Structure 1
Amino acid sequence: MLRHLMRSVIFAQPVQSSAVVVSVGARQLSTAATRQPTQQDKLVFYSEEEGYIRLSPFDPIEPVNLTVDKYVWRDFKKFEKDTATVCIVSGRQYTYAQLRDNSAAFAVRLQTKFKLGCGDIIAICLPNLPEYPIATLGAIEAGLTVTTVNPIYTAEEICRQLKLSDSKFVVTTTLGYGVIKEACELAQKNLPIAVIRSQPNEKLPAGAIDFFELISPRGVDYSQLKDYNLDPESVAFLPFSSGTTGFPKAVMLSHNNMTVNGEQMEIPFGFRQSGRQEVLPAVLPFFHIYGLNIVMLSKLSVGAKLVTLPQFRPDDLVKALSEHKSTMVNVVPPMALFMTNYPKLTQDMVSNLKYVFIGAAPTAESDIQRFLKKFPQTTFVQGFGMTETSPLVLLVPPKNVRLASTGAPVSSTEAKIIAIASECHKGLGPNTTGEICVRGPQIMKGYLNNDEANADIFLPNGWLRTGDVGHYDEDGYFYITDRIKELIKVKGFQVPPAELEGILREHPKILEAAVIPRPDEVAGELPRAVVVLREGTKATEEEIYNYVAERVAEYKRLDGGIVFTNEIPKSLTGKILRKQVREAYTS
C-alpha cells in the first residue's frame, strides 16, 4: 500500500523560505515552525511524485477473497430462521433458509436446464421484490455474471444493454415481459425469459418461463450444481453507468470489489456484531449499485431484514418504517426531504430508527438540520460513491458533526484533489478546489470493451477520476461543490445529456440540441432541452417532449422544459459550451 511507502516522506518537502505556508493535516503550518505531527496529520501524506494524498481514518481491511454468494451465505446459519425479505405490498416473504435453498435451486436449473456456464451473462430486470436476491445470488452461484436492468427502461434502452452485455437469459415480471420481448427482438436475440408473478391471479404470458418453478426446491438435485471455484477477481456484476460522460457503459465489478465494499461499510458500524437483526426498507432500486450493494448484498450478509418496496409510495415507506420497526434506512436527498416534510410520518412512528444513510447527491446542511430536528434520535450519515467504485469511497464517520461533508476515504482507500483540465495529476493541499480522484480495492476492473472510456477515467498508479469537483478541509474531510461530468441527477438517477441530445437530433425537425439540468426542489434536477429547429420547420414543445418520452425511461423525460433558440454556443472544435448554455437557459 502507498500508506507504507510514504511514511518516510511526510513533511520531507524542502523549505523554500520562512514566509511559505504549507497546508498539512489539521491546520496550516508555517515552515519556519517546528512541532510533532498529530495523528490526523499522518492521514494526509505528501510525496514529490503524488503530491498530497488523503488516507483513510478507518481501520484497514484485506479482501475477503470470496465470491459474492459465499460472502453473503457465510454466516447464514446464525440467522436462517429469521425473515430475510418481505414485500410491503403482497406480504410475500422468505426466511434466510428459504432464500438459500431457492437460490441454490435456481443455480442448478440455470446450469442443467439452460446450459449456462461460467461467465455467461444473465440480465435481471425487476423492481424491488423479495425474489430479487434469489435471482441474483442463484445466478452468481451458478458461475454467471449479472447485469442489472432498470425495469422502467424502454425496449430500445434494454436492447442496447442486452447487446452490449451479450446476455443469455432474462428475469423480469409479468408486466415487464412485453417490453423485454420487444427488446430481444430489436437485439435479434431469442432469449429465455423467466417471469415473476407478483400476484397469484396473474397469468403467465405466452412463451414465458415460470420463475417460481425454477427456484422451487422440489425435485432439484443439489449435487448437480457445478462449483467453478471462481477467482474472486473475476467479474460478478455488469451494472451500467454513464461514467463521466456519454452513453451508458458496462462497468466490470469483481467479486472482491463488491465484498470488500460491504466490509468497508461494515467496519464503522459493526452490524454483524450488534446482536440484533437490523431492519430496513429496501426502497432504493436494486438495479442501481447503491441499492444492489449497500442495501441488498451487504445487509443480507449480516442477516438484516429487507422490506422491499417495488416502487416509491409514501404510505408504503411509512408502513415499512413504522410497522416493521426499521432500524435504518438508505435514502437519496429527495427522500430525506420527503421524510422531513411528510406530516403523516412522525418521530414516534420511527422510534427504532437509528441510522439514516444518504448518498447519490450532496445534501445541504440546512436540510440535514431540519431532518435531525424532526428525528433527533437518528444518526445522519453521508457518503459518496459511483457505480465504478462498487459504490462507496467516502463516508462520514458516525457521530461526526460535519453535516455538509461527504466524508473521508473508507477503509484501505485513498483520495486526492487534482487540478482541473491539467496534465499534472499531483494531489493538491487542503481547501484547494479540484477534481476528486480515488483508489482502493473497490475500484472497478474497467468498462467492458471500451478502451477509450477506460483511458479517460483511469489515471496512472491506479487512480480513478470521479468527475466531481470539490476540496477537503484541514481535517481531511471532503466536500463536493460541483461536477465536471455533465450528468444530470434526477432523484439520484444519472441522465447523460449526450443520450438525450442524440435522440433529439434524430427528430426530422431538429438541427441541433443541448440538454442541461434545471434545478428542482423535489427531483434535484430535471433535464431541459435547448433546441435549434431546421430552417423552414415549426414544432411545439409538446411535440418534442412526446417524441423523447416515447423513447426513454420516465426519469429521463424533458420535464425541465424545452427552449427554442437560433443558436447553441459551441467551441471552435464544435463542442457544446455547456456552461454558457446553462447560464443562458437554466432559469
Structure 2
Amino acid sequence: MALAEAGIPTSDKSLGPKQINLGDIDPLSRRFASILYQHGLRRGDYCQIVWPNTSLFQIAVLGIWLCEAIPSLCDYTFRAKGLALQMQDANPKVILATQYNLDTVEESLKIWNKSTNEVPIIVLGKNDPKLDKYPNFEGMVNDKKMRPPVPRQGPFLRDNVAALFWSSGTTGNPKGIQQTYNLFLHHMMPSKFITGIVIQSTLFFHIGGFVTPLHSVFHHTDYFFNGEDIAPDCLNILRAVDKFKPEFLVIGTHHCNQMIALRPDVIANLDLKSIKVVAPLGSTVHSEMIRDVKILFPNCVGCLNLYNMSELGPMVAFNMSPRALGGIGTGNIVKIADPDTGEALGPHQVGEIQVKPIFHMKGYLNRPKETAEFFGADGFCRTGDNGHYDEEGYLYYDNRLKDLMKPDNKHVYPMQIEDVMQRHPEVLEACAFGRPHPTAVEMVTAAVVLVSGSKLTEQDIKDMVANELESYKHLHGGVVFVKDGLPKNEQGKFLRKEMIKFVPNAKV
C-alpha cells in the first residue's frame, strides 16, 4: 500500500492505485505478461523499467518474469544520456516509462538511435494529451478481456538471469549487475527479521528496496511504501508509523539521520512505540545512530546492521550491535586478503574483504574484464572494502578501497565529476571527494586549482557540473580553491582523504 492511502502526505507525482490487494496480483500480472508477449518480449529479453516506487511496480516485474524475460531496473531520475548508455548495454525490447519522465525516455531513444516503432514504450500515467500515442499501463492491466496465456518457452533454471540492477564503475558509467533467480528464491524463505507490518522508504530499483516488497507478496504481510523519494519530509515516515503501528522499518541511513534530527516538539503527538527493529540501508550503522534511534522509538531493540553488496547473494554479515558487522551469514566463506598478494590475513590485520557465497551474480553485463576482476582466480569475490576480523570470527568494516561517494545513499564516483571540471581550460587540477554530513551521509565537494590569473568563481564550477550531471552529483558540499597544488601519492593519484583539510570547519 502507498502511504497516501492512509492520508499520509505524498508527492503530487505519485502514480498507480494507492493500494493493491494480494488477490489482484496474480490476474494483473498475467494480463500484463500477455500484453508484453504480444509486444514481442521473449525469454532472455530485457524490459527497461524507468519508474519510481508505485503499487504497480511488482505487477510489472512479475509480468516480465512470466514472459521469462528480465527486468532492467534503472534510476527514474537519470538524464537521457545515462539512460541511453544503459539501453545500449541491455538492448531492451520494451520500455516502461511514466508521464513525468517520458520526454527523457524519448530523448534517450534518440541518443541510442532507436525509434518507438523499434522499441515500444508503455506509459504509466493519465490525463495528459501527450500520452495518447502510447499504450497506457493501467488501462491495459485493468482490461479484463480474454488474452492468450504466455506459453512456456524453456525450462526454469535457478542460475538464469532474473533481474538487472545498475551500478557505476570507476568512470561513473552504468554497469549492469546480472542477478539470478537464486537470490529471489532465497528471499521467498521466511525471515526472522521481516515480520508483521513493514514500512519502507528505500527505492525499488535498488536491490535492497526491490526484495522487501516481494518478500511481503510471497508471505502475505502488510507492506507500505512511499511513492516518491520521501527524504524532503521524513516526518511522513513517522506519521505512517503512528498510524499503522509497524514493527519493522526499512529506511536509508540518510533518512534515519533526518528523522533523528527532528525537533522533539514536532513528533510529540506521534505514537512510535510499535517499532522493534530498524534496518538502515546504504552505509555502516554507528553507535550514536543506534542510541538516537532507541530514543526516537522507545521499544526498539536496535538497528539491524547489514553487510552485503548487489553482486552477492545471501547477507554476508549482520548484527544488532554497532561493535562489528557481525558474524558471517550462513553459506558464506569470508577471508581478509592482502590487497597486493591475495594471501589470507589473520585476526586484527586489515585487508580487503573477499567473499565466497553460495550463489552470486552471473556477472556484469557485457563487461568480461570487470567480471573476471570481481570473481578472482580463487573463486572469492572482491568487495573493494577494507576490513578485519577478531578471534571470535566477527567481521569489522574499516574503510573503502574504492573512491565511492554516497550522498543520500546514491552512488557517485569522483572521476565523472572531475572530467567535467577538468575540461575547462582554466582548471589546472580538480578533485571530487565526500564531505561528511550529519543527515546526507556525504556531500559531493571539490578541491580545485586554477591557472594563474583565472577569474572563475565557486558558482562557475558548480554550474559546470550542474549543467551536465544529475542533481545528486552536484557540488552541494561546495568548492574550495587551493593555490599550491593538491596532495597526491607517489604515483600521482589524489589523496582524497586529505582534501577535507581544505574545507573550513569541516568535521571528519
Which residue of structure 1 lines up, in the alignment, with residue 408 of structure 2? Answer: 491
Normalising by structure 1, what TM-score? 0.77
Which residue of structure 2 lines up, in the alignment, with residue 470 of structure 1? Answer: 387
Deviation at 1:584, TM superposition (A): 4.8
Q: 1:207 to 1:508 in 2, by over 3 A?
A: farther
Which residue of structure 1 lines up, in the alignment, with residue 178 of structure 2? Answer: 252
Which residue of structure 2 lines up, in the alignment, with residue 460 of structure 1? Answer: 377
Which residue of structure 1 lines up, in the alignment, with residue 58 of structure 2? Answer: 133
**Counterparts of 2:132 and 2:460 in 1: how far apart (Å)?**
35
Which residue of structure 1 lines up, in the alignment, with residue 68 of structure 2? Answer: 143
Mind listing any 5+ residue stretches in structure 2 that lack a counterpart? Answer: none
- Which of 329, 351, 373 is 1:434 aligned to? 351
Contact 1:436–1:470 (8 Å) recurs in 2: yes
**Counterparts of 1:346 and 1:101 in 2: how far apart (Å)?**
44
Look up the equivalent residue of 2:174 and give its one-letter code: P
- Which of 334, 339, 342 is 2:254 aligned to? 334
Look up the equivalent residue of 2:282 and give its one-letter code: A
Deviation at 1:447, TM superposition (A): 1.1
Per-residue CA deviations over 1:46-94 (Å, capped at 9, x if unaligned) read xxxxxxxxxxxxxxxxxxxxxxxxxxxxxxxxxxxxx799765476211
Which residue of structure 1 lines up, in the alignment, with residue 337 of structure 2? Answer: 418
Within a 5 Å distance, the mapping from 1:308-457 to structure 2 comes to 308-309=225-226, 310-312=228-230, 313-342=233-262, 343=264, 344-345=266-267, 349-379=271-301, 380-390=303-313, 392-396=315-319, 400=320, 402-419=321-338, 421-426=339-344, 428-457=345-374
Per-residue CA deviations over 1:128-155 (Å, capped at 9, x if unaligned) read 1111111112112211111111111111
Deviation at 1:270, TM superposition (A): 7.2
**Counterparts of 1:577 and 1:468 in 2: how far apart (Å)?**
17
Deviation at 1:227, TM superposition (A): 4.7
Look up the equivalent residue of 1:463 and give its one-letter code: F
**Counterparts of 1:85 and 1:391 in 2: how far apart (Å)?**
29
Deviation at 1:522, TM superposition (A): 1.2
Task: Give the SS at the match of 2:282.
Answer: coil
**Counterparts of 1:244 and 1:474 in 2: how far apart (Å)?**
34
Deviation at 1:458, TM superposition (A): 2.1
Residue 162 in 1 paired to residue 87 in 2? Answer: yes
Which residue of structure 2 lines up, in the alignment, with residue 184 of structure 1? Answer: 109
**Counterparts of 1:159 and 1:506 in 2: how far apart (Å)?**
22
**Counterparts of 2:397 and 2:210 in 1: how far apart (Å)?**
24
Q: 1:579 to 1:105 in 2, by over 3 A?
A: same
Per-residue CA deviations over 1:390-434 (Å, capped at 9, x if unaligned) read 5732211xxx5x333222222211222122x321332x2332222
Contact 1:486–1:496 (8 Å) recurs in 2: yes
Task: Give the SS at the match of 1:528.
Answer: strand
Look up the equivalent residue of 1:516 and give its one-letter code: F
Paired residues in the alignment total: 487
Deviation at 1:353, TM superposition (A): 2.2
**Counterparts of 1:157 and 1:169 in 2: how far apart (Å)?**
17
Task: Give the SS at the match of 2:322.
Answer: coil
Contact 1:321–1:350 (8 Å) recurs in 2: yes
- Which deviates more from structure 2 when the two are superposed, residues 139-148 or residues 240-249? 240-249
Look up the equivalent residue of 1:392 and give its one-letter code: M
Task: Give the SS at the match of 1:350.
Answer: coil
**Counterparts of 2:132 and 2:456 in 1: how far apart (Å)?**
41
Task: Give the SS at the match of 2:311.
Answer: helix
**Counterparts of 1:151 and 1:270 in 2: how far apart (Å)?**
27
Deviation at 1:439, TM superposition (A): 1.9
Which residue of structure 2 lines up, in the alignment, with residue 286 of structure 1? Answer: 204
Deviation at 1:368, TM superposition (A): 0.5
Per-residue CA deviations over 1:354-402 (Å, capped at 9, x if unaligned) read 2211231112202201211332312321101112125732211xxx5x3
Within a 5 Å distance, the mapping from 1:93-242 to structure 2 comes to 93-112=19-38, 114-190=39-115, 191-197=119-125, 201-203=127-129, 205-242=131-168
**Counterparts of 1:346 and 1:255 in 2: how far apart (Å)?**
45
Deviation at 1:194, TM superposition (A): 1.5
Q: 1:359 to 1:247 in 2, by over 3 A?
A: same
Contact 1:147–1:238 (8 Å) recurs in 2: yes
Within a 5 Å distance, the mapping from 1:476-515 to structure 2 comes to 476-507=393-424, 509-515=426-432
Task: Give the SS at the match of 1:208.
Answer: coil
Per-residue CA deviations over 1:91-132 (Å, capped at 9, x if unaligned) read 6211112122111111111112x1111111111111111111
- Which of 414, 429, 435 is 1:518 aligned to? 435
Which residue of structure 2 lines up, in the alignment, with residue 92 of structure 1? Answer: 18
Contact 2:67–2:150 (8 Å) recurs in 1: no
Deviation at 1:551, TM superposition (A): 2.3
**Counterparts of 2:130 and 2:239 in 1: how far apart (Å)?**
30
Look up the equivalent residue of 2:340 and give its one-letter code: S
Task: Give the SS at the match of 1:126.
Answer: coil
- Which deviates more from structure 2 when the two are superposed, residues 498-507 or residues 433-442? 498-507
Deviation at 1:267, TM superposition (A): 4.5
Deviation at 1:246, TM superposition (A): 4.9
Deviation at 1:225, TM superposition (A): 4.3
Deviation at 1:582, TM superposition (A): 4.7
**Counterparts of 1:86 and 1:460 in 2: how far apart (Å)?**
50
Q: 1:378 to 1:584 in 2, by over 3 A?
A: same
Q: 1:347 to 1:227 in 2, by over 3 A?
A: farther
Q: 1:491 to 1:540 in 2, by over 3 A?
A: same
**Counterparts of 1:373 and 1:304 in 2: how far apart (Å)?**
27
Look up the equivalent residue of 2:278 and give its one-letter code: V
**Counterparts of 1:182 and 1:246 in 2: how far apart (Å)?**
20
Q: 1:261 to 1:417 in 2, by over 3 A?
A: farther
Look up the equivalent residue of 2:324 and give its one-letter code: S
State the Cα RMSD in Å: 2.6
Deviation at 1:495, TM superposition (A): 0.8
Contact 1:528–1:562 (8 Å) recurs in 2: yes
Mind listing any 5+ residue stretches in structure 1 that lack a counterpart? Answer: 1-82, 272-277
Contact 2:386–2:398 (8 Å) recurs in 1: yes
Look up the equivalent residue of 1:395 and give its one-letter code: F
Per-residue CA deviations over 1:472-526 (Å, capped at 9, x if unaligned) read 2332222212111100011222111122222333445434422111111111111
Q: 1:390 to 1:123 in 2, by over 3 A?
A: farther
Q: 1:99 to 1:510 in 2, by over 3 A?
A: farther
Contact 2:449–2:486 (8 Å) recurs in 1: yes
> What fraction of aligned residue pairs are identical, expressed as a percent?
27
Per-residue CA deviations over 1:534-577 (Å, capped at 9, x if unaligned) read 56653222122122123222211111111233534445654334
Q: 1:390 to 1:179 in 2, by over 3 A?
A: farther
